[in-house]
Amino acid sequence: MALLWRFSLLYANTWLCYIYANIETPTGESNNRGIMKVLKFGGSSVADSEKIKKVVDIVTLSTENKFVILSAMKGITNALIASAKKAEVGDAVYKELAGEVRERTLATLGELVKSEPLLAETQRSVEAMLNEYHDILHGVELIRECSLRSMDLIMSFGERLNCTVAAAYMNEAGHKAEFIDAREIIRTDSSFGKGSVEFDITYELIEKRVKSMEGVGIITGFIANSDEGYTTTLGRNGSDYTASIIAAAVDADCCEIWTDVDGVLTADPRVVSTAKVIDRLSIEEAMELSYFGAEVIHPSTLIPTVEKDIPVIIRNTMNLDAPGTVIADEKTNRDTSITGIASIDNVALINVIGNGMVGMPGAASRIFCSLADGDINIIMISQASSEHSICMVCRQEEAGRARACLEKDLADAIAAKSIQKIEVREDLELIAVIGENMKGQVGLSGRLFSSLGKKDVNILAIAQGSTEKNISLVIEKAQRETALNAIHETFLG
């Protein structure tokens, strides 16, 4: 039975990639190098030695050429950040936190690797890294300062330690694997905390490095190097992005993101119990859904793979029977009129109201510039053609700052009474109904709004882009459950 299951999984995997390999590279050249896969496993998939064993099982199930991107073990990046913050204020608790990182790493190594000289060799490299981490924290404690640059270096230990241990285990289990520190192959500018990738040089470095790779490459997610040789990171949860960059660089046939959910769901399952996994998503739909709160994948992650036409597959490490969600640039044959419903809690509505804005060019520009200068991210915009008010939605925690920026920057218009009021309404929910099929569908918004009307849900603002693939609306947070279930039942029930 187990064998049968393994075989069917191997078959399904190979088949999926085969379809996408399409015997042609995105540039149209004949592809005779065999199937090439990039697999990325997030922190929860590598949380302990048992999970790492499972990851290696998944990786070694099939025989394609592979690149494996790993995150730090679950909780380690947070522990590294916490230790740095404690060291910065001279709190000796940092030593305990660093001790926990050390213990967890060495215990995992001890559980996974038993044979010599592999164990001693790996222990040596792990110890060297842990000592360096400790020294850096001591430096931070002495100078009472942890810059973004130092923080990136400190965070980098999570992925470096985990990949060193995992690569050793893979070799111990009889599968040739090589640890690759992504700082060798991914270049960014010096924006510490979230480096901006320099693609040309990165692709060149990856191509060169891959040529000398032996076996499966176990590559650190999240981290990179700046032009000046400093460690940088790609932003929190940046390992998906690493996977996407590597996949694009090697012209992979598919990029699998292994996580702890079955795929992208039609709605938030904590609120809509009937939410289902979406089997296929177009890139645009995936971007819309992930932007609007389906936290499975971050939209920017997809950019390198989109450019190279590489499908991304979301899979669940804990449930290998689930086929996952395939995100690819192709028309999906869907029998539902919408694809999914995304939602964001705790948003605020900012309403700028003023008779003086009617027919006044530049009013919107002043409002948006003011919010941009205040680093406020606007999630939705709506303006009626009367031009009497402009309404914007942002995260609740930014609302106070947004109001202050507007009051400061529009003070002259407020004094001249061309703007009468700046209203901020909190505790709201933004819901976005998304789908390729929505385009040109007469009556869809009628059905949407009457499904909400029937349940007494009051709508505070609405926006629809001209692509017709997204209708966004704002309601009171208290009506969230009713609204999401009503929409789901109407279109996807």
Q: Which stretch binds ligand ASP (CB under 6 A): 82-90, 205-213, 235-243, 363-371?
A: 235-243
Q: How far is the CB of 238 from ligand ASP (least distance, A)?
A: 5
Q: Where are the alpha helices (DSSP H) in 239-310?
A: 239-249, 283-291, 303-307
C-beta closer to ligand ASP: residue 242 or 343: 242
Residue 217 as a binder of ligand ASP (CB under 6 A): the answer is: no
493 CB-near residues (< 8 Å, 6+ apart):
274
C-beta closer to ligand ASP: residue 224 or 487: 224
How far apart CA 312 and CA 387 sit, in angstroms, is 42
DSSP E strands, 323-464: 325-327, 340-353, 380-383, 389-395, 421-434, 459-464
3-state secondary structure of 205: helix
Residue 236 as a binder of ligand ASP (CB under 6 A): the answer is: yes
Q: How far is the CB of 130 from ligand ASP (least distance, A)?
A: 17
How far apart CA 80 and CA 222 sit, in angstroms, is 14
Residue 275 has φ and ψ, to the nearest 5°, of -60, 140
Q: Which stretch binds ligand ASP (CB under 6 A): 130-138, 234-242, 362-370, 398-406?
A: 234-242
| Radius of gyration of the chain, Cα coordinates, nearest whole angstrom | 25
Within 68-107, which residues bind ligand ASP (CB under 6 A)?
71-72, 77
Q: Classify the C-alpha dihedral 258-260-266-267 as positive or negative.
A: negative
Tell me the per-residue interface mask from 20 to 59 with ligand ASP, x by CB under 6 A, - otherwise.
Answer: ----------------------xx----------------
Q: Which tokens in the block code for residue 112? A: 């996974």
Q: How far is the CB of 39 from ligand ASP (least distance, A)?
A: 14
How far apart CA 173 and CA 350 sit, in angstroms, is 58
3-state secondary structure of 203: helix
Residue 479 as a binder of ligand ASP (CB under 6 A): the answer is: no
Please work out the total of residues on this chain that contact ligand ASP, with binding judged by CB under 6 A: 12
Q: Which tokens in the block code for residue 385? A: 């053609």
C-beta closer to ligand ASP: residue 81 or 378: 81
Q: How far is the CB of 225 from ligand ASP (least distance, A)?
A: 16
How far CA 171 is from CA of 181, 219, 258, 326, in Å, comes to 17, 15, 21, 31
How far apart CA 291 and CA 452 sit, in angstroms, is 23
Q: How far is the CB of 397 from ligand ASP (least distance, A)?
A: 20
Residue 232 as a binder of ligand ASP (CB under 6 A): the answer is: no
Q: Which stretch binds ligand ASP (CB under 6 A): 208-216, 232-240, 350-358, 483-491?
A: 232-240
Looking at residue 457, the DSSP 8-state letter turns out to be P
Contact criterion met (CB below 8 Å) for 219 and 246: yes
C-beta closer to ligand ASP: residue 43 or 263: 43
Nearest to 425 by CA among 452, 393, 401: 393
Q: Which stretch binds ligand ASP (CB under 6 A): 144-152, 230-238, 315-323, 345-353?
A: 230-238
Residue 445 as a binder of ligand ASP (CB under 6 A): the answer is: no
3-state secondary structure of 37: strand
Residue 195 as a binder of ligand ASP (CB under 6 A): the answer is: no
C-beta closer to ligand ASP: residue 160 or 187: 160
DSSP E strands, 1-61: 36-41
Strand partners, 177: 216
Residue 158 as a binder of ligand ASP (CB under 6 A): the answer is: yes
How far apart CA 444 and CA 461 sit, in angstroms, is 17
C-beta closer to ligand ASP: residue 78 or 383: 78
How far apart CA 254 and CA 313 sit, in angstroms, is 7
C-beta closer to ligand ASP: residue 78 or 445: 78
Residue 239 as a binder of ligand ASP (CB under 6 A): the answer is: yes
Q: Which stretch binds ligand ASP (CB under 6 A): 236-244, 411-419, 449-457, 477-485?
A: 236-244
Residue 157 as a binder of ligand ASP (CB under 6 A): the answer is: no
The residues of the shown chain that bind ligand ASP, judged by CB under 6 A, are 42-43, 71-72, 77, 158, 221-222, 236-239
